[in-house]
Structure 1
Amino acid sequence: MEQAKTAQDGETKRGVLAHLEGLEAQMNRPCKRYEELQRAQAEESAPRTRIHKPQHLRGKLRVELKQQQVRGKVFSANVASDPTVEIGEQEVLERKQESMKAILQAYHFTGLSGKLTSRGVCICISTAFEGNLLDSYFVDLVIQKPLWIHHHSIPVFIPLEKIAAKYLQTDIQHFLFSLCECLNAYSGRKYQADRLQSDFATFLTGPLQRNSLCNLLSFTYKVDLTGQSSFCARLLYEDLTATLPTDITVTYQESEALSALWEEQRVSHEGLFRTKPLHHVFASFAREEALGLSLAS
């Protein structure tokens, strides 16, 4: 009797435990589903998080940069308004020397070089055209306040004083760049005129006239060696930094009216002078002449 009661009590306990375990499982199911939902949402939002993170960082950096710029402007304004904050003149000159060194290093492979002197710096400007090294010029600068040119070898017809007045005190790099442009363009124009006189003199029916700056050239030339047809050319280089003319006038030497063929040739010559260096134009005339002679023979 007692054994039967004990067995019954054990079954009752197991039934209660089973019932409790069932209730616990039912309570845990929503928690598991919630955890699974959170995990899925996290996985889904991970790419968006990776995208938004750098965007957020970039925005933060922008804000910090603006704040630094504002602080810099405020600091500059305070320095400018505070008479007790002064930069020594010697320090200013030292900064200009360092700036000059950097400029010389930057321009070393563009034909500009130089060395420091006891007064400042001596700059050498080497000119070139179409890979041909031409003349070199120097400018000896005294680094004082204000900067000034001690002596130089720049030709008198180069507007050195005008360039210096415009840039020397405010932008030394622009001063050197403008001077290099003018000198290289002058050397290029002179090189073309010299080549025309030395290599294609047989095409000229008179002297080549040019001014010292070589920005105005005039000459008479024939397009065939028989001399039956001649043209007069006037080339004006209004831009002193250019090696191609900006204003071209080609006229027929004879007074009678041009035929359609000669007018077409005249217009063609103007186009050649506008787009090609002078010696290249006459090299093309020489090729045409040689081709005509070979066909005639």
Structure 2
Amino acid sequence: MEEARALLKEGVLAHLSALETESVRLVELQREAWRQQATREELCATVERLRAQRDQLRAKVLSATQVMTEVDQENEEKRSEEEKSAGDSQLHMSLLTARLSHVKNLLRAHHLIGGYDITETRRGKGVCFSIATAFEDRTLETYNVEMDLARTMRICRHNIPPFIPLERLAQENFQSDIMAFLDSLSMHLNAYVGRRQQVRLIQELFHGSVKVLESNALCSILVLRCRQVGEKKAAALCTLEYGDPTRCLPTRVTIDSEEKTLTDSPQWNEIQALFLETPAHQALLAIRREERIA
């Protein structure tokens, strides 16, 4: 009888110890979730603040552009009478120089909060806009668009990747709102390099446990094979589709596996949601910390 009581006591103590360990783990997970939420809110506030600053400078640039457009129209009306005069030619060049200087000063200020740098080319007959790209606070490639200002403003040279819809973006905003054109182009470029950087980080961080099976030049589709943790160690196939070319997060996530009990479980539904809200390499790191993949 005493031996039975001792065994029962040991069993109860072991069970209580297991409950205590599980409770500590759950508390740590909850604290981590709170920390991530606080970080996310802080980043969102920073983004909103920078957007407000950008909008203020964009309004100044638009106002200056409108004034310069009015000056150009006035000069156009007088051009037929003034073309014969060399002095009037010098006046036109002075106005053009002043125009470039004013826009350059405004855009350099805009560059300080994540805008674009601008340099004069071909002795004042053109300007070159530099669009820097970044992902997770790391500066990546810089792309350039050179514009001809001699007569009608047009793009004369650039190093934009061919799969970025430069011509369509130019048709939409180029002549009427140059800042809207640059902002739209910047969104496409930053989203592209962000998606491409995620592929590189997956290949560097997981060393074969997660394999990139497919990815196109625009990185608008990404197929990953992940080794699941479990007795059968089945492989999961994750397909990430990026339907919005201006974002580096997928719009659709599909997960398939030979082990249907895993992919149909609530945990894998949570994983799908995680991929939709988090860059792919960060989502995979979180899944590996929970020991759902190798």
Determine if the TM-score, normalized by the shorter chain, exceeds 0.5. yes
RMSD of Structure 2 on Structure 1 (CA): 3.2
Shift of 1:262: 4.8
Alignment of 1:58-73 (within 5 A): none
Normalising by structure 1, what TM-score?
0.62
Name 1:97's counterpart in structure 2. 100
Letter in 1 for 2:242: Y
Q: Report the AA paired with residue 86 of structure 1.
A: E
Q: Deviations over 1:162-183 (max 9, x none)?
A: 1111111111111111111111
Give the corresponding residue for 2:209.
Answer: 203
The equivalent of 1:112 in structure 2 is 116
What number of residue pairs does the alignment pair up?
A: 209
Paired-residue identity, %: 31
Name the CA distance, whole Å, in 1 between partners of 2:75 and 2:128: 36
- Shift in Å at residue 122 of structure 1? 1.1
Structure 2 CA distance for aligned equivalents of residues 263 and 84 of structure 1: 70
CA distance in 2, matches of 1:84, 1:134: 42
Is the Cα contact below 8 Å between 1:93 and 1:144 reproduced in 2?
A: no
Aligned residue number for residue 214 of structure 1 = 219
Superposition pairs of residues 23-102 of structure 1, within 5 angstroms = 86=77, 90=92, 97-98=100-101, 100-101=103-104, 102=106
Structure 1's unaligned 5+ residue stretches are: 1-78
> Which residue of structure 2 lines up, in the alignment, with residue 182 of structure 1?
188
1:87 positional shift: 6.1
Structure 1 counterpart of 2:150: 144
Report the secondary structure of 1:151's partner residue: strand
Aligned to 2:268: 266
Q: How does 1:112-261 map to 2 (within 5 A)?
A: 112-117=116-121, 118=123, 119-204=125-210, 206-224=211-229, 228-252=233-257, 254=258, 258-259=260-261
Corresponding letter in the other structure for 1:210? S
The answer on whether the counterparts of 2:126 and 2:148 sit within 8 Å (CA) in structure 1 is yes
Q: Which residue matches 2:64?
A: none
Amino acid in the other structure paired with 1:129:
F
The 3 A distance-change label for structure 1 pair 99 and 173 is: farther
Query: CA offset at residue 261 of structure 1?
Result: 7.6
Question: 2:126 and 2:75 mapped to 1: Cα distance?
Answer: 29
* Cα displacement (A) at 1:115: 1.0
Superposition deviation, residue 97 in structure 1: 2.9
Return the offset for 1:144: 3.1
Any stretches of 5+ residues in structure 2 without a counterpart?
Answer: 1-69, 81-91
C-alpha deviation, 1:211, in angstroms: 0.7
Residue 265 of structure 1 and its aligned partner are, at CA, apart by: 2.9
* TM superposition outliers: structure 1 runs of 4+ over 6 Å: none
Which position in structure 2 is the counterpart of 1:276? 278
Specify the SS of the correspondent of 2:244: coil
- TM-score w.r.t. structure 2 length? 0.62
| 8 A contact 1:96–1:143 mirrored in 2 | no
SS in 2 for 1:208: strand
Whole-angstrom distance in 1 between the partners of 2:138 and 2:144: 19
- In the aligned structure 2, how far is the partner of 1:246 from the partner of 1:162? 22
Aligned counterparts of 2:137 and 2:248: Cα–Cα separation in 1? 14
Please report how far the alpha carbon of residue 214 of structure 1 lies from its aligned counterpart in structure 2 after TM superposition. 0.7
| Cα distance between partner residues in 2 of 1:261 and 1:282 | 15
Asked if the contact 1:97–1:120 (Cα under 8 Å) also holds between the matched residues in 2, the reply is no
Equivalent pair of 1:113/1:125 in contact (CA under 8 Å): yes
Letter in 2 for 1:97: L
| Cα contact 2:107–2:115 (8 A) shared by 1 | no
| Larger Rg, first or second structure (1 or 2) | 1
Change beyond 3 A, Cα 1:93–1:129:
same
